[in-house]
Amino acid sequence: MNVTPSSLLALDNANDSLGSPFSNVSPYLIDVVTLIIVIALYRYSVVNGAGVLVGVGYLFASSLAVWGALRANAIYHFIADTPKSKMQSAAQGFVELQGTCDFFGNRACQGFMSGPPCVWHRYTIVNMAGLFNMGASTIPFVVSDDTGSVVINPTGAKVISSSKRTWFESGKRFSSKYIVPGSEIYVLGELRTRGGAETTYNKGMEVSKLLSVWKKDSRWLHEEFDTDGNGVLDQDEWDSARARAEEISRDIHEEKVADPVANIISKPENGMPFIISDRDPAPLGNTFRAVAYLNVGVAVGCFVWGCLLLG
């Protein structure tokens, strides 16, 4: 199996966008902003009456809806028009692949707060005051078909998953979306062959990277290494965690030296969409097309209403 370069071992800059600059923002994010603006304009007009300011606001919301329609339509065409490739014969560059996902080497992802084992997860925590925290795993995983396999670096991807769980604890609402190993995965992104793994092993750096990933799920870390159950990792327990991290990082390095070349799909550098989903690509594309149509309707409505208020 191909092996990821060391630069992929502990990335921590996940996001849920479809790229940058602004021309590649997710249409879902554009729709949320548009909805917030429309609701704010309506409430303002109820209290203060509809005037020029409200009319200009509706025209601005219309332009945002047009932007969202263009983004959603572009993604639909990327999904519908990009030819599907096999792992072994996929050309370098922008590709569409479909296969079965699995953990990458020893880097199994337990899931958020001891959730079910998964190759990827995204979590959201909302407290009673409405403040929230969110994040996503950046651990690489593998997608395979009958011809071979590639490594997926999910950093920066728009991940659309079918599995989710929600629960309440200590006055907070926790939710997590995830992809379980063995799922059929659709991937749209940039394929590159990268190699030249270092033959030297920097144990301190690799162990620190792995431990930093584990610290993000403190509940799992304590369940795994807090043997006396007092809620605090003492020196012996922390030494046990470090020893486990040393063992895993050494195994990863040995695999990397044995097979230094990796076929990796990651976020395109030119701003094209990067999508990972455990849904079938045909209805997924239709979803984005429906979003485009919806945005066209919103754009027309806001434009007409804004012109009436100004005219």
How is the chain classified by DSSP, letter by letter? -----GGGTT-------S-SSGGG--HHHHHHHHHHHHHHHHHHHHHH---HHHHHHHHHHHHHHHHHHHHHHHHHHHHHHSPB--TTTPPSEEEEEEEEEEEBTTB-B--TTS-S-BSEEEEEEE-TTS-EEEEE----EEEE-SS-EEEE--TT-EEE-SEEEEEEETTEEEEEEEE-TT-EEEEEEEEEEE----SS--HHHHHHHHHHHHHTSHHHHHHHH-TT-SSS--HHHHHHHHHHHHHHHHHHHHHHHHS--EEEEE--TTS---EEESS-HHHHHHHHHHHHHHHHHHHHHHHHHHHHHH-
pLDDT category at 17 given cuts 50, 70, 90 is very low
pLDDT, residue 59, reads 93
Of 23-32, 74-83, 132-141, 242-251, minimum mean pLDDT range: 23-32
pLDDT, residue 257, reads 59
User: What is the pLDDT of the chain when averaged over all its residues?
Assistant: 79
Kindly tell me if the per-residue pLDDT of 204 is higher than 50. Answer: yes
Of 10-14, 61-65, 104-108, minimum mean pLDDT range: 10-14
pLDDT tens, position by position, 103-152: 887 566 667 776 778 888 888 888 877 767 888 888 888 898 888 888 89
pLDDT, residue 297, reads 94
pLDDT, residue 78, reads 85
pLDDT, residue 261, reads 52
